[in-house]
Amino acid sequence: MFYKWQREDSSGDLLRSDETVLDFTFISERNFILIILLTSDGDLRIEYGVHGGTPKHKVVAIKDLAPDCANAAATLCLVPDASCVALILISGNVLLIPIKMLLDVPWGCEGIIADNTLALIEVETNESDCFRTPTSALCYNALYSKRPFLIYSNKAGQIFIIDLSSRKLSVGLGAPQSVHVIETFITSNSVHLLVTGFTGAQWIVPLESEGRSLRETLGDVIPSELEQLHKTSARLSTTQDGKLCLLCIDQHKVQLFDDISMKQSSSEVNVPENTWLVHMAENTIFAICQQTTVKTAVHFGMISSFAEASFDELETPFPEERILGIIPIASSQFLPSCIVISEKGAVRLLPARTFDEAIVEFVARRHFAIEICDYLATRFNHDRLKLCTKVVQHSLRNIKEQNNDSEIEAITKLALDAQVEMRAAIRIFAEFDAADALLPAMLSRCSMNACDESRHAVVELYVAKLKRLPSAKESIENDLRAFLLEYTDVDEGVESLLDNGLWSCVAVIVPRSAHNSEVTAKFLTESKADWPAERASHIVRILAGICWSTLPHNAEELLARMAYFLPHLQSTSHIATFAKIAEEQMNRFHQAGATLYALCSLRLLSATPSFNYASLPSNLSLSCGSNCTAVISEDESVMFIGEFSAGSMKMKEAEKSKGTSASRVALPQAVQVPERVCSVSCGTEHLLCLTIYGKLYSFGRNRFGECGVGHKREVNEACRIRGPFDGVRVVRAGHYHSALIDSNGRVFTWGWALHGQLGHDSRDHFEDVTVPRLVESLQDPIVAVSCGYAHTIFLSEAGKVYACGNGGYGQLGCGEEVKKRYRPELVEIAERVKLISSKYFHCLAVTESHKIFQWGTSPQTLKMKIFLAKRVRAANKEQQQQSSSSPSASTTPTDKSPEQLEMSQTHLSVVQVEHMISDEIIQIDAGYSHSAIVTKTGLIYTWGKGLEMQLGHGNKKEQEEPHQLFEPSAIVWRHVSCGFDFTAAVANDGSVFVWGRNDKNQLGVQSALSPQVTRKLIIKGPKGPRSIQIAADSPCIAVPTRLPSVTAFVRSEVSSDQINDANFIHFLQSLDQNVGSRVRYWSCCGSVEKCGSSRTSVIAEKRRICSKCSDAWTSSVKSKFSKYEA
């Protein structure tokens, strides 16, 4: 609210309950105000003030001045020089009262009544007593004669103009109806009388114009010929600054006119419904609605651009009282004041805001537009930047408690539009816990200019966002980590990251400066709380990233904390990292380093399975399905991104997504598998997980039994697959079927069996298989298997490839189309094969001499080839017809042989893929219509279709031969996997990169476009044109982009198989007694403290396997240990 009420009357001068105000008159000038109220009890209530002092009040009874006129006054008015008051009596006569008789004031000595006595001016009228009652009165000084004139009207429609100097009636007029109100409209060269009848009809009567006096002007006026101005639904009045104000009641608007002709309005303003009276002040509009309610709208002079005025309704102090009018208070204040006269007295309406508060609220109501601030800065001669900064500060303070996101966003835009210095803006927003509102702008600036200094403030803004939205911590942390990975020179804010538990972000920036290492080490050492076990992987990476050589000598305590945290580590890679740190620090901190190293070595030895599955080259830390991706994270758990579905987004799906956000990003979800996972394989609708102990788990839609759990119901949680196999070594998921290889080289398959892809040689029935079944026809040991759409290929230990299932698109490599093959048969490849791959319709093989062979093709590719062949035939036929009809038309023979017009069948047979790769190929993978390989030196090559940018070269160009992936540079690749039309790869440091189509969120990163609209393609066919609709926008990632929320498992340099038993025993024997005691304590007792749910059984097991150590425990250790036994 911009305004507030202040009652005028003092407690002793309030009107009596039955007393009302009949009329009022006033003079309001700069530093002077005089108001006189005429009450029903015949009193004159006077208020006056000079030079801004406290207003004075006085009540004068008319009967004390003129007993005969005690209750005879009907209306009143002040003479322009305030020397006397004119009371118009019910009889029509006028009583002049000198101001000196009412107030003890210094003015009025030289007025029209110099002797301070009452003067009565008699006015004769022929009307009856009822109609002669006066209704309105006013005084003005004539323009030319400078004489004061009194004008009043009565119910009979008569208007009397009295010369107060001569005290005689000068002119009498007759209006077309009873007169309600009269007003004067005065300009520099004219005076007009605005007459308002009781029906609302209005007329304008010229009093002085064109240099003519009152009598001369009125001599030409014929009352009967006066024309009504407008309809009764509009009301004309005058403003304080000399304008005509037309209130259009039905249209709820006010028009201002500069002259009496009213041809063109100077401005137009909306007003509330049921507005009865409007007072237009310099910076505010006051509106009286239904004669009882006051509404205000501050405009600061922006009337011309006021499309919709914002009115505040004030809680009226007189709910049952009728408002008579508004008296403006002339002052130099930025917001005008006024006095509202009601039937019960006068109430002041004063500004309730300081200048700053009013400016802020005014800008806030106009959505913090910079144009408003520009206007106000010019109008009030303020510095633009300072004004905008002030608005931002006050606005943030006002909405701090409301947490209004939309307003904060608008304030942020204002700060940016005003070009407030960025650091200053951050400081201002941070003061009111809204610094994160600047985050989108900061990120935008950084994206446009990677060297923008704003990047160094982003961490601070993300932390501010976390404080405001603690429930969104996971997404905030992922976004910040992605930013830090992109901007490698940002190293600020590690303290706040540690305080707020943003461990993954700490792990990114710790290695970037010695300061970060020291701060992080101190925090981890001195933290009273336990390190969070659920963030173990990030804690390990933080400790590995610390620059230990710069740490002070008290860093030995940090190694002790690591030993305390060791029981929480489940991943061998994490334990190996701790062991490596301990080994490197033994020279500086021998006791703590040796203790930690010994404990880690013991853990690694006890965690070593009988067979190291993670070392198998055929096992996958990353796998892509049709629209999903699975990654083994650094703690050897499984993260899943995307959804189980086939193909890309269809047209109907795209239509459904209209109106949704263009941002396409899905956070990875953890798959709960009971044991550490070493290999994953994604199918179209299911996922297989192999643990380090050779156990197999699956989950998915399972419509064809592809999960292998004995039924076709959906499997929502990872469920173990059991069967007659001995230790699973390799698993592969196909479109709707699966396969595994056990430790004896036997192959088991299950799932969809319609085309013989399971290789069970069962021609008599085609039922799907819901549990793993041995492929008996394969006699040679198998070392690799790949499952395609409806086929399977096998690689034997002898380097031979076998295939079964559907061969309609050349998947079997036999040179012909075979719809179904139930028994695996040899694929003729001249050389020994070491790698195979197939996921959809084409197959790949790499020989020991590093030749690449391919057979099969996708239906999409084949259809396109058929279409092009038909076009060639049609063109050739047309050319032959033209040649036969006009032999001279062409001198070049155009006939083509039938062989040339036949569709190529090369996809049915094995063909060699030409390449120029000199490096050793260690992995190969096939997608729907593209392929990829990884070399020993860590390079990736891709080829095939590129319409969805799945090749990662930043374009949609198709590549017939393998082309190296150059971006991002300086990356050593470990693994690659091809999905339906996207690709993912793992770098040497565990970073996961993705590219290609992202319509199902299968990439886990944000793409700029979403398929919100469809486009129509017209294809000319033999039966005429045919149209198809596809998603118009292709939400693709053009180049390899880092997946910020996941780090893949990569085998560490230090692992359990590198620990030599003999050397380790020698190492233990070389330890001094203190270190030995520490190792015995931590290995036997220390971990017990971290196993609250099973302490009793753990203690018993420790005593059983380490009775000698138990006997040698010190008394302090025994007491700590025995408190749990009790």
Coil/strand/helix, residue 777 = coil
> Looking at 326, 352, 378, which one is the last position of a domain?
352
**Does 173 map to a domain?**
no
Give the residue-averaged pLDDT of 592-606. Answer: 80
pLDDT of residue 862: 73
Supply φ then ψ for residue 773, to 5 degrees.
Answer: -130, 140
Q: How far apart are alpha carbons 96 and 76 in whole angstroms? A: 10
Instruction: Output the average pLDDT for the chain.
Output: 82
Are both 915 and 1023 inside the same structural domain?
A: yes
pLDDT digits (tens, 9 = 90+) for 977-1032: 999 999 999 998 888 999 998 887 778 777 654 444 455 556 666 666 666 655 54
Nearest Cα to Cα of residue 1121 among 1100, 1104, 1108, 452: 1100
pLDDT of residue 927: 92
Confidence label for 653 from pLDDT (cuts 50, 70 and 90): very low
Are both 809 and 936 inside the same structural domain?
A: yes
Give the residue-averaged pLDDT of 685-699. Answer: 91
**Paired strand residues for 119:** 96
**Paired strand residues for 246:** 236, 255
**Does 480 map to a domain?**
no
Which range has the worst mean pLDDT, 650-654, 850-854, 917-921? 650-654
Give, to the nearest 10 degrees, the angle between helix 439-448 and helix 458-468. Answer: 150
Q: How far apart are alpha carbons 773 and 790 in whole angstroms? A: 17
Supply φ then ψ for residue 907, to 5 degrees.
Answer: -70, -15
pLDDT of residue 308: 66
Block residue for tokens 């996972």:
677
**Paired strand residues for 699:** 687
Burial 138-165 (b: 16+ CB within 10 A, else e): bbbebbeeeebbbbbbbbbbbbbbbbbe
**Does 577 map to a domain?**
no
Q: Looking at the predicted structure, is the pLDDT value of residue 391 above 60?
A: yes
Q: Is the previous residue joined to 968 through a cis bond, with omega within 30 degrees of 0?
A: yes
Q: How far apart are alpha carbons 417 and 321 in whole angstroms? A: 48
> Looking at 352, 383, 415, which one is the last position of a domain?
352
Q: How far apart are alpha carbons 474 and 598 in whole angstroms? A: 35
pLDDT of residue 283: 87
pLDDT digits (tens, 9 = 90+) for 738-767: 999 998 899 999 999 988 999 987 776 678
**Does 347 map to a domain?**
yes
pLDDT of residue 624: 92
Q: How far apart are alpha carbons 262 and 257 in whole angstroms? A: 6
Strand order in the sheet with 148-154: 134-141, 148-154, 158-163, 168-174
Q: How far apart are alpha carbons 303 and 300 in whole angstroms? A: 8
Q: Looking at the predicted structure, is the pLDDT value of residue 161 above 90?
A: yes
pLDDT of residue 516: 92
Q: Looking at the predicted structure, is the pLDDT value of residue 828 above 70?
A: yes
Are both 993 and 1082 inside the same structural domain?
A: no
Q: Looking at the predicted structure, is the pLDDT value of residue 850 above 80?
A: yes
Measured over the CA atoms of residue 295, residue 299, residue 302 and residue 307, the dihedral's sign is negative
Are both 753 and 828 inside the same structural domain?
A: yes
pLDDT of residue 650: 43
pLDDT of residue 1033: 52
Number of other residues whose CB lies within 10 A of the CB of residue 289: 18
Confidence label for 1053 from pLDDT (cuts 50, 70 and 90): very low
Output the CA–CA distances (angstroms, integers) from residue 312 to 128, 295, 419, 463, in the order listed: 46, 5, 32, 39
Using a 10 angstrom Cβ sphere, with 0-12 exposed, 13-18 middle and 19 or more buried, the burial of residue 54 is exposed
Confidence label for 442 from pLDDT (cuts 50, 70 and 90): confident
Confidence label for 892 from pLDDT (cuts 50, 70 and 90): very low
pLDDT of residue 108: 74
Confidence label for 1126 from pLDDT (cuts 50, 70 and 90): very low
% of the chain surpassing 70 pLDDT: 83
**Does 417 map to a domain?**
no
The alpha carbon of 827 is separated from its chain's Cα centroid by a whole number of angstroms, namely 55
Q: Looking at the predicted structure, is the pLDDT value of residue 13 above 80?
A: no
Q: How far apart are alpha carbons 175 and 177 in whole angstroms? A: 5
> What 3 state SS string does 187-211 have?
CCCCEEEEEEECCCCEEEEEEEECC
Q: How far apart are alpha carbons 401 and 394 in whole angstroms? A: 13
pLDDT digits (tens, 9 = 90+) for 353-386: 888 888 888 888 888 888 889 988 998 889 989 8
pLDDT of residue 654: 40
791: domain range? 622-862+905-1047
Are both 976 and 1083 inside the same structural domain?
A: no
DSSP 388-455: HHHHHHHHHHHHTTTT-HHHHHHHHHHHHHTT--HHHHHHHHHHTT-GGGGHHHHHHHHHH-TT-GGG
Are both 994 and 1094 inside the same structural domain?
A: no
Nearest Cα to Cα of residue 830 among 812, 808, 853: 853
pLDDT digits (tens, 9 = 90+) for 950-963: 999 988 888 989 99
**Does 337 map to a domain?**
yes
Q: Which tokens go with 463? A: 């932390």
pLDDT of residue 802: 95
Confidence label for 666 from pLDDT (cuts 50, 70 and 90): low
Report the domain count for the chain.
3
pLDDT digits (tens, 9 = 90+) for 216-242: 888 877 776 777 877 667 888 888 777
Give the residue-averaged pLDDT of 1071-1084. Answer: 58
Give the residue-averaged pLDDT of 476-482. Answer: 87
492-500 long-range Cβ contacts below 8 angstroms, 24+ apart: 492/456, 492/457, 492/459, 492/460, 493/459, 493/460, 493/463, 494/519, 494/520, 495/519, 495/523, 496/459, 496/460, 496/463, 497/459, 497/463, 498/523, 500/463, 500/466, 500/467
Are both 993 and 1092 inside the same structural domain?
A: no
Are both 852 and 976 inside the same structural domain?
A: yes
**Does 333 map to a domain?**
yes
Q: How far apart are alpha carbons 621 and 986 in whole angstroms? A: 8
Residue type, 106: P
CB of 13 within 8 A of CB of 57? yes
Measured over the CA atoms of residue 951, residue 953, residue 954 and residue 957, the dihedral's sign is negative
Confidence label for 668 from pLDDT (cuts 50, 70 and 90): confident
Q: How far apart are alpha carbons 768 and 703 in whole angstroms? A: 10
Q: Looking at the predicted structure, is the pLDDT value of residue 320 above 80?
A: no
CATH of the domain at 336: 2.130.10.10
1018-1024 long-range Cβ contacts below 8 angstroms, 24+ apart: 1022/870
CB of 713 within 8 A of CB of 689? no
Give the residue-averaged pLDDT of 250-273. Answer: 85
Which range has the worst mean pLDDT, 575-579, 665-669, 863-867, 1106-1110? 1106-1110
Q: Which tokens go with 142? A: 């004539």
Supply φ then ψ for residue 85, to 5 degrees.
Answer: -115, 135
Residues 6 or more apart whose CB falls under 8 angstroms from that of 1014 comprise 651, 654, 655, 1029, 1030, 1031, 1032
Confidence label for 826 from pLDDT (cuts 50, 70 and 90): very high
Are both 705 and 731 inside the same structural domain?
A: yes
Block residue for tokens 């970060």:
516
**Does 334 map to a domain?**
yes
Percent helix, strand, coil in the chain (nearest 5)?
30, 30, 40
> What 3 state SS string does 975-1028 have?
EEEECCCEEEEEECCCEEEEEEECCCCCCCCCECCCCCCEEEEEEEECCEEEEE
Give the residue-averaged pLDDT of 813-841. Answer: 90
CB of 286 within 8 A of CB of 326? yes
Nearest Cα to Cα of residue 342 among 363, 320, 357: 320
Rounded CA Rg of the chain: 47
Are both 977 and 1077 inside the same structural domain?
A: no
Are both 729 and 796 inside the same structural domain?
A: yes
> Looking at 302, 327, 352, which one is the last position of a domain?
352
Pair type for strands 43-50 and 32-39: antiparallel
CB of 207 within 8 A of CB of 215? no
Residues 6 or more apart whose CB falls under 8 angstroms from that of 426 comprise 435, 438, 457, 460, 461
Nearest Cα to Cα of residue 832 among 813, 817, 851: 851
Coil/strand/helix, residue 965 = coil
pLDDT digits (tens, 9 = 90+) for 17-36: 889 999 999 998 888 899 99
DSSP 8-state secondary structure symbol assigned to residue 647: S
Please tell me which residue, 426 or 1089, carries the higher pLDDT value: 426
Supply φ then ψ for residue 576, to 5 degrees.
Answer: -65, -35
Q: How far apart are alpha carbons 1047 and 1043 in whole angstroms? A: 8
Measured over the CA atoms of residue 437, residue 443, residue 446 and residue 447, the dihedral's sign is negative
Q: Looking at the predicted structure, is the pLDDT value of residue 110 above 90?
A: no
Confidence label for 1056 from pLDDT (cuts 50, 70 and 90): very low
Nearest Cα to Cα of residue 9 among 42, 78, 56, 51: 56
Are both 815 and 929 inside the same structural domain?
A: yes
Q: How far apart are alpha carbons 149 and 139 in whole angstroms? A: 6
Q: How far apart are alpha carbons 801 and 816 in whole angstroms? A: 17
Coil/strand/helix, residue 266 = coil
pLDDT digits (tens, 9 = 90+) for 1066-1075: 566 566 655 5
